[in-house]
Structure 1
């Protein structure tokens, strides 16, 4: 079995993949989220692991946008507690001139950075592990990355747990080509677009109230096909094969201009 993830090794996506699949499978690193989808679509990987939302910074828009044109399904989810480390070849904060990490991580550590190294230049890169690689190459630089990155890239820990909010959780999705059978404790993800009329979104949500289906998430993203046209992404409790969910989706489909089931999958145990 081959798993595609956002590389290089030691990214949080890599850690989520290891949590889900262990170390006995083959891992292939990708440079961005689009490449993860492509590797699975082409059959070069059996599954891919992608970030979908963070408890502090919210949804990962790139992942949501990929589902618009992709036929891949959500097969599983993983929650990972995130602890950020400031790593460098240097041993003192005063020596740091630049800090590398990805945009979401900077958002999660903003206050700590402003308080402790306000003069440092913040440089965005594709992943925390790529940031670690650069920190190895640039002596006066640091990165914000995982504890695993410290070990792999032989860096010093200048500070730990630098996230502004301690309860920092990222949710990841496992994507593949097949739909998953019900387990009795499932979640379903869908996307839809509404017809251009007054009260359309309210009407779209009415079937879920009718069949007593709990919605756990709703996000909107521009369709990028027409001005002010949006797709809505919804997570709901239950499996698409459950009668109540099936009936609600059937009513939704009659009213929506577009509906896609992204997948039904077992609920993951949330990190407490």
Structure 2
């Protein structure tokens, strides 16, 4: 399960977001020249693509469900390393082989704060939803059209295959505004009417450092 999958299955709400600068490091107990495989979550692999290509060409890249899991696996294996933060190195007692290996030095990562209730309106809010729709051409276009009609800015959309049926996808959508704002409420209602599955993950204060 990924974190996004758990959102769809359990009664959790997003109540806040935090955007932090995170520096990636190569962790392990072996010299850089001896590394034959690297563990990490898919996102750090993308963030460190150039460095890996230049410094560890041809090594096996093994994706795991979290950077923490990658560090724990790398500690147990000879000639293995992991990509993770300095905090992960401290928490799991791993040695840092190479520091700051991210391709973009101002590398920001978004974290969501989870609770059983979402946030109150602040005037600078975001709303996150997850949904699935009919499997036909143009379905996603029509499902997102209400947001264009209401002038609502969509900040992120991500798709994942569902765990229930092959070739069926869940869409995770972020937008500016609170679910109690009238334009947002109207657009969400029109979206829900078209959905096979629909869930509001929460409305919450938008991080001032977040990219709009």
Q: TM-score range by the shorter chain?
A: 0.7 to 0.9
Query: Match of 2:127?
Result: 188
1:247 Cα deviation after fit: 1.7
Matches within 5 A, 1:21-100: 62-89=2-29, 92-94=31-33, 96-100=34-38
Is contact 1:89-1:155 (8 Å) kept? yes
- Alpha-carbon distance in 2 for matches of 1:246, 1:118: 50
**Matched position secondary structure for 2:98:** strand
- Alpha-carbon distance in 1 for matches of 2:116, 2:140: 30
**Matched position secondary structure for 2:113:** strand
1:133 Cα deviation after fit: 4.5
Is contact 1:101-1:127 (8 Å) kept? no
Matches within 5 A, 1:1-272: 62-89=2-29, 92-94=31-33, 96-104=34-42, 105-118=44-57, 120-133=59-72, 140-152=79-91, 155-196=94-135, 198-270=137-209
TM (norm. structure 1) is 0.65
- Alpha-carbon distance in 2 for matches of 1:180, 1:116: 44
TM (norm. structure 2) is 0.80
| C-alpha distance 147-211 of structure 1, shift in aligned 2 (>3 A) | same
- Alpha-carbon distance in 2 for matches of 1:159, 1:271: 28
| C-alpha distance 232-122 of structure 1, shift in aligned 2 (>3 A) | closer
- Alpha-carbon distance in 2 for matches of 1:189, 1:71: 14
1:68 Cα deviation after fit: 2.4
1:150 Cα deviation after fit: 4.1
| C-alpha distance 121-267 of structure 1, shift in aligned 2 (>3 A) | same
Q: Which runs of 5+ in 2 are unaligned?
A: none
Q: Which structure is higher in RCO with an 8 Å CA cutoff and minimum separation 6?
A: 2
Q: Which runs of 5+ in 1 are unaligned?
A: 1-33, 35-61
1:264 Cα deviation after fit: 0.5
1:184 Cα deviation after fit: 1.3
Over the residues paired in the alignment, what is the CA RMSD in angstroms? 2.9
Aligned length: 210
Worse-matched range after superposition: 206-215 or 225-234? 225-234
Is contact 1:97-1:121 (8 Å) kept? no
Is contact 1:101-1:145 (8 Å) kept? no
Worse-matched range after superposition: 158-167 or 146-155? 146-155
1:236 Cα deviation after fit: 0.8
